[in-house]
A and B are shown apart, each in its own frame.
Chain A
Amino acid sequence: MLSVVERLGLTAALFMAAAVPAVAQETTTLGGYGEVHYTNVRGRNTPAEVNLRRFVVYLAHTFNDRLTFRSELEVEDAKVEGGSSGGEVALEQAFLDYRVADALTLRTGLVLPPVGIVNESHEPPTFNGVDRPAFDHDVIPTTWREIGVGIVGQLPVADGWNYRLYLVNGLRADGFSDAEGIRGGRQEGREASFANPSLTGRLEWARPAGGLRVGVSFWYGGTTAGDTLLGRGSFDAPIAVLSADARYQRGPVALRAVLATVSVSDADTINALYGSAVGTRIAGGYLEGAYEFVRHLSAFVRHERYDTQADVPTGTTRDAAFARRVTTFGLSFKPTWNTVFKGDYTLLRTAAGTGGGETLRLGMGYQF
């Protein structure tokens, strides 16, 4: 006769299969996100503009319980037309995941460097403000995507630890600029030079009970331009990005903080070669607090401080107009967790006292 324990262990295993709902083996998932913006820069002769900023289709296909393809195809600014500037159709992500275990998924394709918060979590309902933080444009160049291979997963040390580590193509130094740092150096998967592969990764900890997630992330690698003057070997004259971030949520309170520093060790050579004025150090961060004072309706304020010329190489003149302070306050109304109506007002000030401005923005966003 079977013991009681065995009855659950063995007999149960036989008939319990009937209790487990079936999961189709090959499935295709369609999703997406998008946002529409109304932007009104304060002042005369700056009429408001409305723009279908992003329309993104998320397409995933699961081949079996180990292999999944995931992608995002984006249309920016609604329309791309031959002969006129503006608009963009681009792949934001396209990669194949092979899941070995909870601790290890192998990833290959066009991936998002896991630096900061917004680069990976960029769906409009996940952040406050109509536009992404300016810091996530000029310091961490979102949406940053490059081609490579990597590993992601949960670190088996304790609950809550996750990591990602990718080897991807490097940045192109000829795209760097004084105002937007390394942004123009992204190759975004288009016939990208692989002369200087770079490493990027992230280690994060989520409080197992929820409410807090902190992470550190980096990017490290040489720049590339097909130019021997800048070095061609791996990690030659590297760009190093270091960032730390935290997200806290408790009841109606939500807080975020991100810090990043980018060092461009080759800035003097890059500037001499391309006539640019790239800083040797690009640094800054932001703090944001939000309070859901009525169910679904939050007020937030965010203060960003960053300088794309925090340090400049000898021979480059520092422009204090690139030392920016951006304060944004506004409202987010989220009828559901994945839809949002936003309104905010942004004050931009610079250390030079010039180049500042004020902007009113309204927006709608969704994801599914």
Chain B
Amino acid sequence: MTQAVPPDKVAASLRRIFGPEAETTVLTVGADTVLRVTRGDTLLGFATVRNVTGKDQPITFLVAIDPDDRLKDVDILVYREPYGGEVAYEAWRRQFRGKSAADSVRVGREIRAISGATISVHAVTLGVKRALADLTHWHQTGAIR
């Protein structure tokens, strides 16, 4: 049995990030799934949906990159803990925009800490870093194109 993450949340997130005319194709890279986002013949970018564990609950998030492998946006699709939900706020998430896999992404430096939401902040930051690194690697090695 699994807890359902409504797929329409993924679609809504991609529409918000890439615009209403974005089309999506599902690619698989090994055991991972990548969403390829296009508009007509134009590649808009790639996205992946993952879970990280907060204090005891999974946090489901989406990371999207543009064709130049810059992070386009992060979305928190499902946050299940009773506190620490500040990581879902746009004002905090937007700090990741424009980062590339080579950029330093550290809590307390490039990414602001949130007192009282330490676990979520570190979990999401690490999850985003890994997703960005994977997408970039797959794109640069031609595993996704």
Q: Which residues of A contact B (CB under 8 A)?
A: 4-5, 7-9, 12-27, 29, 31, 60, 62, 64-65, 68, 70, 97, 99, 102, 105, 107, 121, 126, 152-154, 159-160, 162, 204, 206-213, 247-252, 292, 337-338
Contacts and interface: CB of A to CB of B under 8 A. Distances in A.
B114 A213 contact: yes
B117 A19 contact: no
A29 B86 CA distance: 22
B85 interface: yes
Given A20-B5, A25-B2, A159-B89, A210 B114 contact: yes
Contacts of B8: 9, 13
A5 B21 contact: yes
B23 interface: yes
B82 A152 contact: yes
Given A99-B82, A152-B82, A160-B89, 20 more contacts: A8-B24, A14-B7, A16-B24, A16-B35, A19-B10, A21-B51, A23-B3, A23-B5, A23-B58, A31-B55, A105-B82, A206-B86, A208-B86, A209-B91, A209-B95, A210-B113, A211-B113, A213-B116, A247-B115, A249-B114
A159 B80 CA distance: 16
A133 to B, nearest CB: 16
A68 B56 contact: yes
A23 B92 contact: no
18 contacts: A16-B7, A16-B11, A19-B10, A19-B34, A19-B35, A23-B2, A64-B3, A65-B3, A102-B79, A126-B118, A159-B91, A204-B116, A209-B89, A209-B95, A210-B86, A210-B114, A249-B113, A292-B108
Interface string B1-38: 11101011011001100001111101000000111000
A14 B7 CA distance: 7
Interface in B84-109: 85-86, 89-92, 95, 107-109
Interface of B: 1-3, 5, 7-8, 10-11, 14-15, 20-24, 26, 33-35, 48-51, 53, 55-58, 60, 77, 79-80, 82-83, 85-86, 89-92, 95, 107-109, 111-118, 121-122
Contact of B116 (A8, A13, A60, A121): A121
A210 B121 contact: yes
A65 B1 CA distance: 11
A220 to B, nearest CB: 23
A105 B80 CA distance: 11
Contacts of B51: 21, 23
B1 A25 contact: yes
Which of A8, A99, A154 gathers the greatest number of chain B CB atoms within 10 Å?
A8
A18 B122 contact: no
A4 B14 CA distance: 13
Contacts of B58: 23
Given A206-B117, A210-B121, A4 B10 contact: no
B90 A208 contact: yes
B56 A31 contact: yes
A27 B58 CA distance: 10
A154 B22 CA distance: 32
Contacts of B79: 102
A310 B121 CA distance: 40
Contacts of B15: 8-9
B108 A251 contact: yes
Contact of B108 (A70, A209, A249): A249
